[in-house]
Structure 1
């Protein structure tokens, strides 16, 4: 009687292909996760002040001057305990016009303010929208998860579009 060889005997070639596939998935998965973490980290720097406003100074700024990436103006308090300031700075402004008044929240210990409300919250999360778009390419191309890539890309485009619409109004 002749012994039959098992039909699924692994060869060294099959093992190396499996190892390379696992390495590719691990590397691309790590890159996608790092991109998403970086997007959240970059967004949280200003989002924390805009979203968690309880106990923070809130008020309005009438924009008097804009130069490059900053606009300045007089701050009028709206919340209890907030103090009026003759000059505060809005950094990285988008769709802020001279002479207009905006609702803002003050970064503690500074004269820096962030636009609050829906427009401010969405604008704070713009880096996450970019990270979603970038991660979608890695997920679809590197991991081969096409549908998940489309979901990530759609989420990023939706966030950026909603931000554009909210900031313009």
Structure 2
């Protein structure tokens, strides 16, 4: 300590330094949480989205839903792409967007008889987990990082994505 400096100045400087370290720690932790939420949203969406968005070389066709169970619906598959084979029964995930008696354009997942919806409705529907992650991350960004503009942007994009999925389906 400098003899001319009062003892209270040193305590204030220590408090200011500790406050800066805590603020940086909160920023680092909340940034990490927000990024992990967004990565999880992309990861959850990509499992379906890759089949819908990257259709080159994949079997494309239509399925007429004839029967729905608890979690899945089934029906015959009619091919639309070259090299695709008709199938007596394929499985599509049951959702509010799939009803018995309707026909949907689909893409066959490799290595089985499971299909996912294609087209604009299928693309938007595949990214629903990311929309939810954007909404959740906006809360973390607003509350933990105190970045309200960025939080409103994340929430707006998430809300738009979920609304688009609701309208498209």
Aligned twin of 1:153: 155
**Aligned alpha-carbon RMSD (Å):** 1.7
1:42-121 to structure 2, matched below 5 A, reads: 42-121=44-123
User: Using the alignment, how far apart are the partners of 1:82 and 1:75 within structure 2?
Assistant: 10
C-alpha contact (below 8 Å) 2:72/2:92 kept by paired residues = yes
User: Using the alignment, how far apart are the partners of 2:25 and 2:71 within structure 1?
Assistant: 43
Unpaired stretches in structure 1, ≥5 consecutive residues: none
User: Using the alignment, how far apart are the partners of 1:8 and 1:84 within structure 2?
Assistant: 80
Match of 1:128 among 113, 127, 130: 130
User: Using the alignment, how far apart are the partners of 2:68 and 2:94 within structure 1?
Assistant: 11
2:24 matches 1:19: no
Q: Normalised by the size of structure 1, how large is the TM-score? A: 0.93
User: Using the alignment, how far apart are the partners of 2:151 and 2:126 within structure 1?
Assistant: 23
Aligned twin of 1:38: 40
User: Using the alignment, how far apart are the partners of 1:166 and 1:8 within structure 2?
Assistant: 63
Give the length in aligned residue pairs.
Answer: 164
Q: Normalised by the size of structure 2, how large is the TM-score? A: 0.93
Structure 1 runs of 4+ aligned residues shifted over 3 Å read 7-10
Q: Say which is worse superposed, 94-103 or 16-25, in terms of deviation.
A: 94-103
C-alpha deviation, 1:93, in angstroms: 2.7
